[in-house]
Amino acid sequence: MAYRTKLGRLDCYEKGEIVLEDDLRKYAFSNIFEVAGASAPFERVAVVQNLDYVAEVVRSEGTSPWYAAPHDEFAIVMDGEVTFQFIKLEADQVPSHEGGALRLGGEPNGPRMGLVGARRGHQVLLPHGAAYRLVSEQPSVALIQTVEGPETVKRWTDICELGGETAQ
């Protein structure tokens, strides 16, 4: 049997499904494009969690605030095009909280490190010690792997449906 992988887009996707002979409340399902379509720009919605680690779906539209994390993160552009801009942080500006991205109060001080233009399927490292922001001319979708933190939004009851009913 041949399998074909189909990758959706924000404006055109097929919601996935899974059939299990088990208690479905043990599993979290989501469709990243559906989640991004229902999210505000730059809202970081968790769609997967494993212990402290999360994958956050981000709808990139316009210019985001600046973020930094006390550890490396990475992003995969799932739809559209996103430019990631970077500024090197001074040692005293690097976040020291336990984990996850932290929204900075404004543009950080420090030298510009450059930018990365990424399209669908491209992965970008969001390094420790750097502030970053996302810029998109058209609505785009990124999946960010990080640690659960102050910017992580959880909407499990909105994104996990069981037989037409909302999960608890």
From CA 45, how far away is CA 6, in angstroms rounded? 23
Q: Kindly report, residue by residue over 40-52, the tens digit of the pLDDT.
A: 999 999 998 999 9
Structure tokens at 19: 């059939």
> Which residue type is seen at 74?
F
Q: What angle do CA 53, 56, 60 make, to 5 degrees?
A: 150
- The full DSSP string for 28-78 is ----HHHHHHTSPTT-EEEEEEETTEEEEEEEEEEEPPPEE-SS-EEEEEE
The confidence band for 136, taking pLDDT boundaries of 50, 70 and 90, is very high
Q: Which domains does the chain have, with CATH numbers?
A: 42-154 (2.60.120.10)
| pLDDT of res. 19 | 66
> Which residue type is seen at 92?
D
Q: Kindly report, residue by residue over 64-87, the tens digit of the pLDDT.
A: 999 999 999 999 999 999 999 999
From CA 57, how far away is CA 158, in angstroms rounded? 14
> Which residue type is seen at 121?
G
How many Cα neighbours within 13 Å face the side chain of 76?
7
